Amino acid sequence: MTKQREFSWPVRVYYEDTDVAGVVFYANYLKFYERGRTEWLRSLGWEQDVLIDKGLAFAVAHVDAKYLRPARFNDKLVVKTRISSVRKASVIFEQEIYRVDENSDESDDNKQQLVNKATIRVACVDMDTMTPAPMPNYLQEEIAREWC
C-alpha cells in the first residue's frame, strides 16, 4: 500500500485559543482542523465561497478526536491532513496536529510531537435543503485522483 498524500498547514496558538491555564481549549482543535481542510481545498484551486455560490457547502457530519498532549499559548503547530475515503457526497479526513520545535521548520518530522488526532467526516450538502448532495464529478474525481 502506498503512503497517502499529506497536506500540512502551520498554525500558531494565540492567547484567544487558550483557557485560563494557557492550554488550548479543547474545541479550538476543531478550528485548527477546519483551517487545515480549508487550506487543503484552496490548494486544489477551490474556494468554499465559490462552491457556496453554486449551492453547495461542506459540513462536518462526524468527529472522533483524541487529545494526547496539551498545546499551549504561543506553540508552533502544524495541522496534517490526509484523505482516507472519498464517497459521492462525503470525504473522510485523517488529521493530526503536531507541536513543532521552535527552532525547526514544519517539514522536520523528527522535531514534531503529536498532540491531537482526529477522523472527520465532511458531507457535501445542498444549501437550499441542507441535505446531503453529491459532490460535483470534477471535484470528486480530482480528489480521488490526487489524494487517494
Residues annotated as catalytic are 19
Give me the residues paired with residue 18 across strands.
Answer: 24
46 half-sphere exposure, CB direction, 13 A CA radius? 20
- Geometric angle at alpha carbon 114, from 113 and 118, rounded to 5°: 165
At 91, list the grid cell.
Answer: 470525504
